[in-house]
């Protein structure tokens, strides 16, 4: 099951299923700390973990014996997250900017350019990705226009599905906040070309990296006010606050918008869990830069890629049959 489908299954779980999943995942990576061996820890809870994750009955859990390395992307949002920071972090972690340009060309969007270059933020190097747009040549776009644009493209199905889900959530939030229907809502910043490129580009990047599971730290939102197409709004912007419902978030120490609606929509759609960095084999690290260089903190989004050793489900079936008395 890929990262997108895992995230969608997670979003539809009950709170009890999510709790089982979280503790099972922590067990898989050895964070129980109760003195049991790794395999005995695994025996205790993993059958419920797999059943909750895949939506199957325990009797259906039949896969080959062995281990599967789960590819994880962990977003460390210590300075918030935006669309351009996400693209920068993905490029810094190994996504070829030429691949992004090639895949994004499958969308009927023109009169823009995608640039990538190195910058420093508070002394640390990061990758800045800019979407340079000729605003005079861009039509106004409704939610339905964006859906058609993505659905009719030749992008990979997983990329299409993820991008459509991000924009559906954005559209629903905008419709709710402005008391309009989803079909008639016009996007402002979110519907602009740079946001379309940010969202679809993020999904392209995760797909290119073969990420199976996305996790995130709590989200730094910022505080103060921000000027938008709707005037001067409080930070976090109303759309951002709606999008992070149910996720751990906090203001932080910087008086500015640290997390944008586009960044919040991408992250909360693809991430299946929020919390501290799990025990994982770190392979690559990418820093995506924000627009401003802050004086006291690096304005960077850190993306950590790696693998989590996950026992396959045949072991879970066997464990359930022989060690069911370990379950609490």
Is 68 a residue whose pLDDT tops 70? Answer: no
Q: Which of 127, 310, 85, 314 is nearest to 213 (CA)?
A: 310
Average pLDDT over the chain, rounded to an integer: 81
8 A C-beta contact, residue 84 and residue 291: yes
Average pLDDT over residues 92-99: 98
- For residues 213-223, give the mean pLDDT: 98
What is the mean pLDDT of the segment spanning 144-167?
96
Least confident of 3-17, 104-118, 163-177, 225-239: 3-17
Say what the pLDDT of residue 29 is. 43
- 247/245 Cα distance (integer angstroms): 6
CB under 8 Å to 181, separation ≥6 — which residues?
175
Rg (CA), the chain: 21
CA–CA dist 214, 218 (Å, integer): 13
Q: What is the structure's pLDDT at 224? A: 96
Q: Highest mean pLDDT range out of 4-18, 33-47, 80-94, 217-231?
A: 80-94
Residue 135 vs residue 9, higher pLDDT: 135
54/37 Cα distance (integer angstroms): 26
Spatial CA neighbour of 264 closest among 18, 127, 93, 85: 85
Closest Cα to residue 230, out of 290, 173, 177? 177
Looking at the predicted structure, is the pLDDT value of residue 328 above 50?
A: no
Residue predicted with more confidence, 319 or 135: 135
Res 28: pLDDT: 44
**pLDDT band, residue 246 (cuts 50/70/90):** very high
Lowest mean pLDDT among 32-46, 101-115, 266-280: 32-46
Angle subtended by helix axes 157-178 and 193-208, to nearest 10: 140
Instruction: Tell me the pLDDT band of 140, cut-offs 50, 70 and 90.
Output: confident
- 249-306 pLDDT per residue, tens: 999 999 999 999 999 999 999 999 999 999 999 999 999 999 999 988 999 999 999 9
Is residue 160 pLDDT above 50, yes or no? yes
Mean pLDDT to the nearest integer, 212-225: 97
Res 53 pLDDT > 80: no
* CB neighbours of residue 100 within 10 Å: 23
- pLDDT surpassing 50 at residue 37: no
Choose between 319 and 198: higher pLDDT: 198
pLDDT at 39 over 50: no
What pLDDT score was predicted for residue 303? Answer: 98
Q: How confident is the model at residue 220 (pLDDT cuts 50, 70, 90)?
A: very high
pLDDT at 16 over 50: yes
For the entire predicted model, the pTM comes to: 0.76
Domain spans of the chain, in order of start: 3-66+312-326, 72-309
CA dist., res. 87 & res. 204, Å (int): 10
**pLDDT at position 311:** 52
Looking up tokens 């979280």 gives 22
Reply yes or no on whether the pLDDT at 49 is more than 50. Answer: no
Q: How is residue 95 written in tokens?
A: 């996504």
Dist CA 289 CA 118 (whole Å): 9
φ/ψ of 294, rounded to 5, equals -80, 150
Residue 13 has pLDDT above 80, yes or no: no
pLDDT, residue 19, reads 57
Write the secondary structure of 51-119 as one string of H (helix), E (strand) and C (coil). Answer: HHHHCCCHHHCCCCCCEEEEEEEEEECECECCHHHHHHHHHHCCCCHHHHHHHHCCCCCCCEEEEEEEE
Tell which wins on pLDDT, 188 or 235.
Answer: 235
What's the average model confidence in pLDDT over 99-124? 96
| The predicted structure's pLDDT at residue 4 | 56
Give the whole-angstrom CA distance, residue 198 versus residue 221. 19
């Amino acid at each position: 099951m890929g990262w997108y489908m895992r995230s969608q299954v997670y979003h539809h779980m009950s709170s009890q299923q999510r709790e089982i999943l979280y503790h099972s995942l922590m067990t898989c990576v050895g964070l129980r700390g109760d003195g049991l061996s790794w395999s005995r820890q695994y025996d205790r809870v993993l059958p419920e973990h797999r059943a909750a994750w895949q939506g199957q009955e325990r009797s259906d859990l039949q896969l080959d014996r062995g281990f599967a390395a789960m590819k994880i992307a962990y977003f460390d949002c210590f300075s918030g997250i935006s669309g351009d920071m996400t693209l920068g972090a993905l490029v810094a972690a190994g996504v070829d900017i030429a691949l992004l340009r090639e895949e994004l060309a499958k969308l009927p969007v023109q009169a823009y350019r995608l640039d990538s270059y190195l910058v420093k933020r508070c002394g640390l190097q990061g990758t800045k990705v800019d979407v340079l747009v000729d605003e005079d040549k861009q039509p106004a776009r409704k939610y339905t226009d964006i859906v058609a644009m993505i659905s009719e493209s030749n992008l990979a199905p997983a990329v299409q599905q993820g991008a459509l889900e991000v924009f559906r959530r954005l559209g629903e939030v905008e419709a709710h906040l402005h008391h309009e229907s989803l079909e008639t809502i016009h996007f402002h910043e979110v519907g602009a070309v740079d946001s379309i490129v940010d969202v679809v580009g993020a999904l392209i990047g995760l797909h290119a990296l073969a990420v199976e599971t996305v996790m995130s730290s709590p989200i730094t939102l910022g505080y103060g006010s921000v000027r938008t197409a709707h005037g001067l709004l409080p930070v976090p912007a109303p759309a951002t606050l709606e999008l992070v419902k149910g996720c751990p978030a906090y203001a932080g120490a910087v008086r500015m918008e640290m997390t944008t609606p586009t960044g919040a929509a991408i992250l909360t759609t693809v991430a299946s869990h929020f919390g501290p960095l799990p025990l994982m084999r770190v392979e690559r690290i990418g820093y995506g830069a924000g627009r401003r260089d802050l004086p006291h903190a690096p304005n960077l989004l850190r993306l950590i890629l790696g693998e989590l050793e996950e026992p396959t489900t045949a072991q879970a079936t066997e464990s359930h049959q022989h060690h069911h008395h370990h379950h609490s």
